[in-house]
């Protein structure tokens, strides 16, 4: 019973953050701001869902399952790298957010260096 409550709480919390991330993706004003929604709100969103799933199978079904930990690790590695690459590509194309301290469009040097954060 308590286990079910905890699992439900994890699922609701995860769903809430995934929703917030998606709303951010749709609602925020420019490209670079929109990157923030998916990179952050989704880590806890998916994290909550994975925690719920792990607890459910470990406590109520056939025993300890750790696949979810693996998913979480891969997510934590890939989300910031893909966000970095998207931001970099946008800077390269000169999509200008027009915010304070914005790097001038097209100042990104031609690519002859390795991808920085990959």
Partner 1 sequence: MNERRGIPAAPPAMREKPRVWYWLPHPYMTLVLVGVWLMLNNTLHPRHVLIGAVLGFAIPLFAQHFLPEAPRIRSWRAAMRFLPLFLWDVVVANFVVAGLILNLRRRMRPSWVAVPLDLVDPYAITTLANVISLTPGTVSSRLDDGRRTLLVHVLDTADPAAEVARIKSRYERPIREIFEC
C-alpha to C-alpha distance for 77 and 70, rounded to whole angstroms: 11
Q: CB-wise, 9 or 76, nearer to partner 1?
A: 76
Q: CB-wise, 3 or 81, nearer to partner 1?
A: 81
Nearest to 49 by CA among 70, 66, 72: 72
Q: CB-wise, 12 or 117, nearer to partner 1?
A: 117
Which residue carries 């286990």 as its tokens? 3
Nearest to 78 by CA among 46, 45, 51, 39: 39
SS3 24: helix
Which residue carries 């439900």 as its tokens? 8
Q: CB-wise, 20 or 59, nearer to partner 1?
A: 20
The minimum distance between CB 10 and partner 1, in angstroms, equals: 13
Q: DSSP label at 117?
A: -
Residues that bind partner 1 (CB under 8 A): 16-17, 20-21, 23-24, 27-30, 32-33, 35-37, 39-41, 43-45, 64-67, 69-70, 76-77, 79-81, 83-84, 87-88, 91, 97, 99-103, 108-109, 112-114, 116-118
């Amino acid at each position: 019973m308590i286990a079910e409550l905890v699992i439900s709480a994890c699922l609701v919390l995860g769903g809430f953050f995934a929703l917030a991330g998606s709303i951010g993706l749709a609602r925020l004003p420019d490209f670079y701001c929109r990157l923030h929604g998916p990179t952050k709100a989704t880590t806890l969103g998916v994290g909550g869902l994975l925690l719920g799933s792990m607890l459910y199978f470990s406590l109520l079904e056939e025993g300890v399952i750790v696949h979810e930990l693996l998913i979480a690790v891969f997510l934590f590695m890939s989300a910031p790298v893909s966000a970095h690459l998207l931001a970099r590509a946008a800077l390269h194309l000169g999509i200008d957010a027009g915010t304070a301290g914005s790097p001038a469009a097209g100042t990104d040097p031609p690519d002859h260096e390795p991808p920085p954060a990959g």
